[in-house]
Amino acid sequence: MTQSFSNSIKLTAFILRRERTIAMVWIAVMLLFTWAMAMVFDTQFTYEELQAMLLVQQNPIQIAIQGPIYGADNFLAGQIFAREMLLFTLIAVAIMNIFMVLRHTRGDEEKGRYEVIRSLPTGRLAFLNATLVTSLVVNVGLALSQGVLLWVMGIDGTTMHGAFTYGAVLGALGLVFAAFAALFAQLTPSSRGALGYVFMLLMASYLIRAIGDQGNEALARVSPLGLVMRAEVFVQNYWWPILVALAIALGISGLALLLNTRRDIDQGFIPQRQGRAAASFMLRSPMGLTWRLNRNTLIAWAVGMLSLGAALGGLLGDAEIFAVENEVFQMMMPQSPDFHAAELFTMLLNVLLAIVCIAPVLILTLKLRGEEKEHRVENVLSGAVSRPRYLAGYVVMGFLASIIMPLFAAIGMWLVGGYVMDEPISLMVMFKGMMVYVPALWVMLGLAVLMIGLLPKLVMLCWGYFAYVFVAGFFGDLLGMPEWSLRLTPIGFVPRLPLDEVNIFVLLTLSGIAVCLLAVGGLFYWRRDVI
């Protein structure tokens, strides 16, 4: 049996070396957000404002979105920080682990790397075991860094015990989803299939927790997300949910290792659906192929934007508290006697949603570069397919995302906002408030195409610019950034409805810039070699 794990240590060191940059970026970004939000809650809110926020949180919609409220009798900065940040940080940690494990299991298997490793003197289970050990190292590092940061910051309502409990909750949940990713990597014959199943499990976990938190404690604990939140961070700091989560992760990992011994390379236990004898009409064109490969991503992001819009729409019922009684939101929101608080608050939410909409536009467009790096582009271009025609498929996917994402976000915010508000804002007002950002999304689409054509090895700079757009566009006023810094982003030129009037010249200018970027990027892509 020990021979099955031979050279696991060397493989672990190898995988850690490959993963170090991505893992460090993930951990650094989460630490940055933890520090920023903890500072906001600790320095920008008075005790009375925290109690007002507690009243806002005590409604079924907010509980379904963010989980149950703990420590209501002594609601300090630490409690509101955990309330606002823990669940969404848990989801980010789960996503990090899912991608990490699938990248080094099914991903490497599909690329032929697994066969190379198996040809060396390594055990049958060594590679999967090394991947799981790597996830353990990364999650322990995440847990310790989060705990140390919160302990050193010492915000009101936190203790050393609570700080490290917060970190341990994140690490334990990460290990659970790392184990599930390893399991589905054995069950399914492709990385796409495994990714789809694990993300469905994550969504089901969130929904089961949301239903259970309405009063069914046993149901909430069935969900991994609901289970670890029972640690009651910064209140009771229970460790039993963490230990149960670790036991679940260990059991699932053992099952994944067992299944790995009983399957062949490139095979899975869930049979693949038999395809058609002949390709459909859509698959006979590059555009159809691009749609087939990316439709699930587009649909998943559309559902996500609908859910995010709905989650933020739940805040509109208490917009008066945010806009009138809280200094932080007063700094971030424009003031006008001509509009009530909910309309002004919607403008702030529109900016946040528009910035988030940039992510799927970039993801779908930059997948062209991913196909190129995996050497799949040559197979398509070797036929009667021109480069502009092939590029057009990914441009169309990005264009669809730029239209669909703001639309679904507006619908989600309108549906829930209409339920919680005494005087609901009309769908058309919310629709205009979101869709006015579409030209800015086209500029980001054009920038991605320009980078693919001109500097394909530096396309990650698009994500660096996205991070700048997020900070400048949403936190610029709060951080005291100068006006010109916001003008370095396309979001900074978009009129904020209904306070500002629609400036057709500005929107047409942004659209023209997007067209120029697309044209230049397409020209360079047409003329350069495939890398």
Q: How confident is the model at residue 138 (pLDDT cuts 50, 70, 90)?
A: very high
pLDDT for position 29:
82
Give burial (CB, 10 Å; 0-12/13-18/19+) of 35: middle
For residue 51, is it within any domain?
A: no
Maximum pairwise Cα distance, the chain = 75
Number of domains in the chain: 2
CA separation, residue 191 to residues 196, 216, 266, 429 (Å): 8, 35, 10, 41
pLDDT for position 322:
57
What would the DSSP string read from start to end of 55-110? HHH-SHHHHHHH-----GGG--HHHHHHHHHHHHHHHHHHHHHHHHHHHHTHHHHH
Average pLDDT score over residue span 205-229: 87
pLDDT for position 87:
85
Q: How confident is the model at residue 414 (pLDDT cuts 50, 70, 90)?
A: confident
Average pLDDT score over residue span 335-341: 61
For residue 5, is it within any domain?
A: no
pLDDT for position 44:
66
Residues 367 and 263 occupy one common structural domain:
no
Distance (Å, rounded) from C-alpha 432 to C-alpha 434? 5
- Mean pLDDT (the chain) is 82
pLDDT for position 251:
95
pLDDT surpassing 90 at residue 19: no
Q: How confident is the model at residue 179 (pLDDT cuts 50, 70, 90)?
A: very high
Average pLDDT score over residue span 281-299: 79
Contact 365, 441 (CB under 8 A): no
Chain centre distance of CA 383: 36
Give CA angle at 123 (262, 117), nearest 5°.
100
Q: How confident is the model at residue 155 (pLDDT cuts 50, 70, 90)?
A: confident
Residue given tokens 């900074």 in the structure block? 492
Q: How confident is the model at residue 392 (pLDDT cuts 50, 70, 90)?
A: confident
pLDDT for position 319:
60
Which of 83-97, 318-332, 334-348, 497-511 has the lowest average pLDDT?
318-332
Q: How confident is the model at residue 143 (pLDDT cuts 50, 70, 90)?
A: very high
For residue 1, is it within any domain?
A: no
Residues 340 and 484 occupy one common structural domain:
yes
Residues 147 and 262 occupy one common structural domain:
yes
Cα-Cα-Cα-Cα dihedral sign, residues 471, 301, 397, 188: positive
> pLDDT higher for 510 or 277?
510
Residues 259 and 357 occupy one common structural domain:
no
Q: How confident is the model at residue 16 (pLDDT cuts 50, 70, 90)?
A: confident
pLDDT for position 475:
67
Distance (Å, rounded) from C-alpha 475 to C-alpha 480? 8
For residue 41, is it within any domain?
A: no
Whose CA is closest to 144, among 175, 174, 165, 173? 165
In the DSSP assignment, the letter for residue 5 is G
pLDDT digits (tens, 9 = 90+) for 358-387: 989 998 998 888 888 777 777 777 777 788
Give the range with max mean pLDDT: 11-20, 51-60, 450-459, 509-518. 509-518
Q: Which domain holds residue 181?
A: 23-35+87-270
Average pLDDT score over residue span 122-129: 82
Residue spans of alpha helices (H) in 314-425: 319-325, 327-332, 341-373, 377-381, 387-420
Residue given tokens 């353990």 in the structure block? 136
Cα-Cα-Cα-Cα dihedral sign, residues 165, 167, 170, 173: negative
Residues 361 and 481 occupy one common structural domain:
yes
Number of C-beta neighbours around residue 40 at 10 A:
17
For residue 69, is it within any domain?
A: no
Q: How confident is the model at residue 429 (pLDDT cuts 50, 70, 90)?
A: confident
pLDDT for position 495:
83
Residues 456 and 339 occupy one common structural domain:
yes
Q: In the numeric block, which tokens belong to residue 494?
A: 């978009």
Residues 239 and 290 occupy one common structural domain:
no
CA separation, residue 153 to residues 103, 121, 321 (Å): 34, 48, 28
Average pLDDT score over residue span 504-530: 89
Residues 206 and 288 occupy one common structural domain:
no
For residue 12, is it within any domain?
A: no
Residues 183 and 119 occupy one common structural domain:
yes
Q: In the numeric block, which tokens belong to residue 159?
A: 């203790």
pLDDT for position 1:
58
Average pLDDT score over residue span 269-298: 75
pLDDT surpassing 90 at residue 169: yes
Which of 270, 294, 329 represents a domain boundary (last residue)?
Answer: 270
CA separation, residue 498 to residues 169, 312, 502 (Å): 42, 18, 9
For residue 2, is it within any domain?
A: no
pLDDT surpassing 70 at residue 36: yes
Average pLDDT score over residue span 177-185: 93
pLDDT for position 420:
67
Residues 190 and 320 occupy one common structural domain:
no
Which of 270, 292, 317 represents a domain boundary (last residue)?
Answer: 270
Contact 337, 360 (CB under 8 A): no
Residues 363 and 447 occupy one common structural domain:
yes
Q: In the numeric block, which tokens belong to residue 249?
A: 């992760």
Q: How confident is the model at residue 331 (pLDDT cuts 50, 70, 90)?
A: low
Residues 331 and 443 occupy one common structural domain:
yes
Q: In the numeric block, which tokens belong to residue 49?
A: 């404002």
Whose CA is closest to 199, among 82, 102, 129, 89? 102
pLDDT for position 330:
57
Distance (Å, rounded) from C-alpha 344 to C-alpha 321? 12
pLDDT digits (tens, 9 = 90+) for 51-106: 766 666 666 666 777 778 887 677 777 888 888 788 888 988 998 899 899 888 88
For residue 461, is it within any domain?
A: yes
Q: In the numeric block, which tokens belong to residue 447?
A: 């920038």
Q: How confident is the model at residue 141 (pLDDT cuts 50, 70, 90)?
A: very high
Distance (Å, rounded) from C-alpha 528 to C-alpha 457? 13
Which of 270, 292, 319 represents a domain boundary (last residue)?
Answer: 270
CA dihedral 152, 153, 156, 162 (to 10 degrees): -50
Q: How confident is the model at residue 137 (pLDDT cuts 50, 70, 90)?
A: very high
Q: How confident is the model at residue 323 (pLDDT cuts 50, 70, 90)?
A: low
The set of residues, in sequence order, having a beta carbon less than 8 Å from that of 489 and lying 6+ positions away, is 440, 468, 469, 472, 473
